[in-house]
Amino acid sequence: MSRIARVVVLLAVALLVFFITREVYRPNETSEVVNSTIMLERVRTVLKLVTVEGEFNELYDHADSWNWRYAVPGFTEKRAILRVKARVSVGYDLEGLQLTTDERTRTITIQAPPSPSVLSLEHDIDYYDLNEGLFNHFDERELTRISNKAKERIRDQVGTSGLYEVAEEQRDELLDLLRTLVESNGWKLELGWESKDARSRLKG
């Protein structure tokens, strides 16, 4: 075999060894990306479970009279009493959830917690009492407006019902379980805020 032929063979062998070695020791980038995607989906799925339900029952009283100097009972006055039954679900809108991953350190970070909000409000309305004056009647548009006001009143009461606070407490408890899930898969979970449980432990 000539010298040139031997050089060509050696180069071919060297290139073959190089490509084989590169394929064997190349970092599995695709698997890493898929891994992070799976972990993100698991985080989102778990946080979807954070919902609190509350039931409300209320009588909504609406009265109306013509703006006359002298009201004439039974002629110019009308009144509607509505019985409202509502079921409210409070939880988290995941569109506002900011998640980032670092494949190098295998860390998932929740940058900012979404605020709990009303996810659904189902309500039934019965007209418990409906009195109309001889010249002053309820039309369909007015009854719809009264119904919407009654629904908004229920929505306003959610803010003082304690449902938002309960949702936050459940979120913090679930984050502890989520941390265990993430760590069992070889990842770390970091929060961009301090949970209530952490503050309570510091005070204790």
Which of residues 124 and 77 earns the better pLDDT score? 124
pLDDT at 18: 40
Tokens of 166: 């309960």
The domain containing residue 32 runs over which residues?
3-203
d(CA 64, CA 56): 25
What backbone torsions phi and psi does residue 95 show, to the nearest 5 degrees?
Answer: -65, -25
For residue 74, is it left (φ>0), alpha (ψ between -120 and 50) or beta? left
The answer on pLDDT for 144 being more than 50 is yes
Reported confidence tier of residue 139, pLDDT bands at 50, 70, 90: confident
Question: Are residues 94 and 168 in contact, defined by beta-carbon separation less than 8 angstroms?
Answer: no
Nearest to 195 by CA among 158, 174, 184, 67: 174
What confidence tens digit (pLDDT) does each residue in 4-57 have? Answer: 444 334 444 344 334 334 444 444 444 444 455 666 666 666 666 657 889 988
What confidence tens digit (pLDDT) does each residue in 152-185 have? Answer: 888 888 888 889 998 888 888 878 887 888 888 8
The answer on pLDDT for 124 being more than 70 is yes
What confidence tens digit (pLDDT) does each residue in 60-101 have? Answer: 887 776 555 555 555 567 777 888 888 998 887 766 667 788
Tokens of 17: 């060894």
In the predicted model, what is the mean pLDDT of residues 185-203?
64
The answer on pLDDT for 193 being more than 60 is yes
Pseudo-torsion of CA 167, 87, 41, 112, nearest 10°?
-40
In the predicted model, what is the mean pLDDT of residues 135-163?
82
Place of tokens 């900012």: 112
The answer on pLDDT for 123 being more than 80 is yes
Quote the number of domains for the chain: 1
pLDDT at 108: 85
Question: 130 CB contacts (<8 Å, ≥6 apart)?
Answer: 79, 80, 81, 138
